[in-house]
């Protein structure tokens, strides 16, 4: 509360400043010089033309291998643990092959695949249905392909949840804050009534860190630039057969699985 | 003219009082929902739209259905409907207001609803739905109010009103089409992903809306001195008959495509609704009831002997209304979410608070409808000097 009031004041101050200086800036602009505020990218930031992820499921054996990865993600993003199943919020979770790759399994699929838990998360689709559906642009896609949420703009209509063909989105059916065991101050908590999902650790990439799941995966998860032929991810895609979820929908998921 | 609404008999005030009481109770529950969040409803991550959106969808149909009494009068010069067009327009007003209330009730952050206008997003169907609904509301308020005022002053409504009325006739199918587009353009939901969805919505709307109008006409004849007219009711009944037959026909077309192609992602939803899936089948009895009601109403409506008997007609309209309500108000929305995108069967049932809030919105709609009809009918009684 205290915190949010302070940041509100800060924001208000900055906007007031912005309003006050605007005429001045305009005056500069009209004199032919460009004196707008310049934004410098963080030199350390990890960037890509098109982010993507490869999950090498051969390196996992059981739920236990995946738990720390999920825990890492949920911890730094303040994902609450709700007891009521209906209110559950997940950014990264696991499910069986037949549920993750719906209608792709068959009776004789090998035992390992049949019983292996697969990681599931937002696919950061190339043509995201959620972005198309959102009536406020609270869900939007960056130029590098990452699909993000503006928690302060979302009206909670949940059109995006109906639109997402992968079930990647969760809704805050109640105030999530009491259900966060240990709050990480580096990432905002959410309020009731808004949608959330995996953000590809955009906040970490921005300061030069790899996504939390990648760090916790002992090399089983790799992210990189799909447009860079030299990247590790392209190397992996070249040398391994990979599959994506529901390819026939044409959404272009950016999460590739080596099975 | 509003003053006409505050001059009524005892029964009128009992009705108004009753509706206000339901609205009041529901309002308290809505405040609870505001403070706790949508967690007090039965919705979940898997079935993320429920009762509210279903009622919304059904009521857009009722609103659009009102046009079926307006259209023959303005476009085909069918004079008999001149007496009752106002009822269709006022019904549309009440129905659209309920729709908007259900949308607000369904929002996680209703205080931010105006973000849809502040950050207009023409790529989102919801943006367009907001526009078409509000325009339709406005059209009906302007047309309805002017028509009844002209009638009261014994003059003909101005020419531009006729132009607006014709515009609203074109607009009516649009509101339900856009509402269908909310669902049928979503890639991963096989149940909705069908081009017949909008036509189906329209057919059931043009059955349910006029059926409700028939019932309202019969009630009006009983409790007021104004008689909407036997011919009028019979003409409406014929419209209802065609519409409900087309509705069932469209449904059967869908069934054929889905079950002959045997594509599981399309089949599984319908299987869930009518037979149950992986041991879950909460909606099975409801869906069969809906089908039985719709088919029975067709039998009663097609046969001129039963249709012309107003008691039987009333019965047919009641079951038709309930049937289409179950079909759209219960099956259509949760049916699309079960099974979920990962093919888990997670069922949905509305909770008590959710049902009370829903009843509150319906009560508000009927409250508005009562007042509007009271005004319209008092004017008609005055004019005809009874
Ligand atoms: S997986 Fe779903 S939420 Fe993620 S980008 Fe694709 S459509 Fe959007
Ligand atoms: S719930 Fe929020 S993010 Fe999703 S469509 Fe609505 S406004 Fe956009």
- A175/A127 same-domain check: yes
Among A137, A150, A156, A171, the mutation site with the greatest number of ligand 2 atoms within 8 A of its Cβ is A156
**Domain count for chain A:** 2
Q: Kindly tell me if the per-residue pLDDT of A2 is higher than 50.
A: no
Structure tokens at B377: 């009918």
- A63/A188 same-domain check: yes
Helices B51-65, B197-223: crossing angle, 10 deg rounding: 70
Question: For the purposes of burial, counting CB atoms within 10 Å of the CB of B31, is it exposed (0-12), middle (13-18) or buried (19 or more)?
Answer: exposed
User: Smallest Cα–Cα separation from B37: which of A73, A137, A84?
Assistant: A84
- A176/A67 same-domain check: yes
Q: Whose CA is nearest to atom 2 of ligand 1?
A: A164
Segments making up each domain of chain B, as ranges: 2-384
pLDDT digits (tens, 9 = 90+) for B221-267: 998 889 999 999 999 999 999 999 999 999 999 999 999 999 999 99
- A5/A59 same-domain check: no
**Architecture of the CATH domain B2-384:** Up-down Bundle (1.20)
- The mean pLDDT of B369-376, rounded to a whole number, is 94
Cα(B17)–Cα(B28) distance, integer angstroms: 17
Contact call for residues B164 and B242 (beta carbons, < 8 A): no
Q: Kindly tell me if the per-residue pLDDT of B85 is higher than 60.
A: yes
Q: Nearest chain A residue to B266 by CA: give it.
A: A103
Distances (CA, A) of B38 to A88, B26, B106, B130, B216: 13, 15, 8, 21, 34
Residue A161 lies in a domain: yes
Residue A217 lies in a domain: yes
User: Smallest Cα–Cα separation from A256: which of A129, A164, A73, A123?
Assistant: A123
Instruction: Say how many CB pairs under 8 Å bridge A and B.
Output: 151
- A129/A216 same-domain check: yes
Residue A37 lies in a domain: no
Among A89, A136, A171, the mutation site with the greatest number of ligand 2 atoms within 8 A of its Cβ is A136
Torsion on CA atoms B23, B26, B30, B31, rounded to nearest 10: 80
- A86/A139 same-domain check: yes
pLDDT-derived band at A28 (thresholds 50, 70, 90) equals very low
- pLDDT value, residue A25: 47
Pairwise CB contact (< 8 Å): A174 & B343: no
- A23/A56 same-domain check: no
pLDDT digits (tens, 9 = 90+) for B41-76: 999 999 999 999 999 999 999 999 989 999 999 999
Torsion on CA atoms B120, B126, B130, B133, rounded to nearest 10: 150
If DSSP codes are grouped into helix, strand and coil, which group holds residue A74? helix
Residue A109 lies in a domain: yes
Sign of CA dihedral A232, A50, A194, B133: negative
pLDDT digits (tens, 9 = 90+) for B158-208: 899 999 999 999 999 999 999 999 999 999 999 999 999 999 999 999 999
A164 touches chain B (CB under 8 A): yes
Return mean pLDDT, chain B: 94
Residue A182 lies in a domain: yes
Taking the CB of residue B24, how many other CB atoms lie within 10 A of it?
11
**What DSSP designation does A85 have?**
G
Domain that holds residue A23: 1-30
Residue A42 lies in a domain: no
- A55/A14 same-domain check: no
If DSSP codes are grouped into helix, strand and coil, which group holds residue A56? strand
- pLDDT value, residue B386: 55
- A119/A228 same-domain check: yes
Look up the CATH number of the domain holding residue A158: 3.30.70.20
Residue A43 lies in a domain: no
- pLDDT value, residue A7: 53
Residue A232 lies in a domain: yes
Could you report the predicted ipTM of this complex, rounded to two decimals? 0.92
Q: Kindly tell me if the per-residue pLDDT of A26 is higher than 60.
A: no
Cα(B355)–Cα(B353) distance, integer angstroms: 5
Nearest ligand to residue B118 Cα: 2
Considering only CA atoms, give the Rg of chain B.
21
A50 touches chain B (CB under 8 A): no
């Amino acid at each position: 509360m205290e915190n949010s009031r302070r940041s509100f004041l800060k924001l208000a101050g900055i906007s007031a400043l912005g309003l006050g200086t605007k005429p001045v800036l305009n005056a500069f602009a009209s004199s032919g010089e460009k004196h707008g505020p310049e934004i410098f990218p963080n030199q350390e930031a990890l960037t890509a033309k098109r982010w993507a992820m490869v999950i090498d499921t051969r390196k996992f054996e059981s739920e236990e291998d995946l738990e720390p990865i999920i825990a890492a993600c949920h911890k730094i993003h303040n994902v609450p643990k709700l007891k009521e199943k209906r209110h559950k919020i997940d950014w990264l979770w696991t499910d069986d092959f037949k549920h993750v790759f719906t209608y792709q399994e068959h009776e004789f699929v090998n035992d390992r695949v049949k019983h292996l838990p697969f990681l599931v998360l937002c696919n950061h689709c190339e043509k995201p249905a959620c972005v198309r559906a959102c009536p406020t642009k609270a869900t939007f896609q960056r130029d590098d392909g990452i699909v993000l949420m503006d928690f302060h703009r979302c009206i909670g209509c949940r059109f995006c949840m109906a639109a997402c063909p992968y079930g990647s989105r969760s809704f805050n059916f109640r105030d999530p804050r009491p259900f966060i065991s240990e709050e990480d101050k580096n990432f905002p908590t959410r309020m009731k009534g808004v949608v959330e999902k995996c953000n590809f650790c955009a906040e970490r990439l921005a300061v030069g860190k790899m996504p939390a799941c990648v760090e916790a995966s002992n090399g089983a998860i790799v992210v990189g630039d799909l447009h860079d032929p030299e990247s590790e991810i392209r190397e992996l895609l070249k040398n391994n057969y990979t599959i994506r979820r529901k390819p026939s929908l044409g959404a272009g998921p950016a999460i590739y699985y080596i099975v | 003219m509003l003053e006409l609404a505050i001059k009524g008999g005892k029964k009128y005030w009992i009705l108004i009082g009753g509706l206000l009481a339901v609205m009041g109770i529901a309002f308290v529950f809505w405040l609870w929902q505001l403070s706790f969040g949508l967690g007090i409803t039965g919705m979940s991550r898997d079935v993320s739209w429920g009762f509210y959106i279903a009622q919304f969808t059904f009521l857009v149909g009722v609103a659009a259905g009102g046009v079926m009494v307006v259209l023959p009068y303005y476009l085909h010069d069918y004079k008999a409907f001149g007496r009752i067009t106002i009822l269709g327009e006022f019904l549309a007003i009440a129905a659209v207001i309920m729709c908007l209330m259900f949308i607000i009730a369904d929002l996680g952050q209703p205080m931010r609803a105006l973000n849809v206008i502040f950050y207009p997003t023409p790529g989102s169907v919801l943006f367009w739905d907001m526009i078409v609904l509000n325009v339709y509301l406005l059209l009906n308020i302007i047309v309805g109010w002017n028509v009844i005022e002209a009638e009261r002053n014994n003059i003909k409504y101005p020419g531009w009103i006729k132009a607006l009325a014709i515009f609203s006739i074109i607009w009516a199918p649009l509101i339900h089409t856009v509402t269908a587009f909310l669902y049928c353009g979503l890639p991963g939901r096989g149940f909705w992903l069908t081009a017949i969805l909008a036509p189906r919505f329209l057919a059931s709307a043009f059955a349910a809306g006029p059926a409700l109008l028939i019932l309202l006409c019969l009630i009006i004849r009983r409790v007021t001195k104004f008689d909407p007219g036997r011919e009028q009711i019979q003409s409406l009944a014929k419209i209802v008959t065609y519409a409900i037959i087309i509705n069932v026909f469209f449904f059967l077309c869908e069934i054929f495509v889905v079950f002959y192609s045997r594509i599981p992602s399309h089949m599984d939803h319908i299987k869930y609704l009518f037979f149950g899936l992986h041991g879950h089948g909460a909606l099975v009895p409801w869906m069969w009831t809906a089908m039985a009601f719709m088919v029975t109403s067709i039998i009663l409506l097609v046969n001129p002997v039963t249709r012309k008997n107003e008691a039987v007609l009333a019965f047919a309209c009641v079951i038709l209304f309930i049937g289409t309500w179950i079909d759209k108000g219960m099956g259509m929305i949760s049916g699309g979410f079960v099974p979920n995108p990962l093919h888990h069967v997670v069922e949905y049932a509305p909770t008590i608070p959710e049902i009370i809030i829903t009843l509150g919105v319906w009560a508000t709609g009927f409250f508005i409808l009562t007042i509007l009809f009271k005004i319209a009918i008092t004017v008609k009684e005055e004019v005809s000097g009874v």
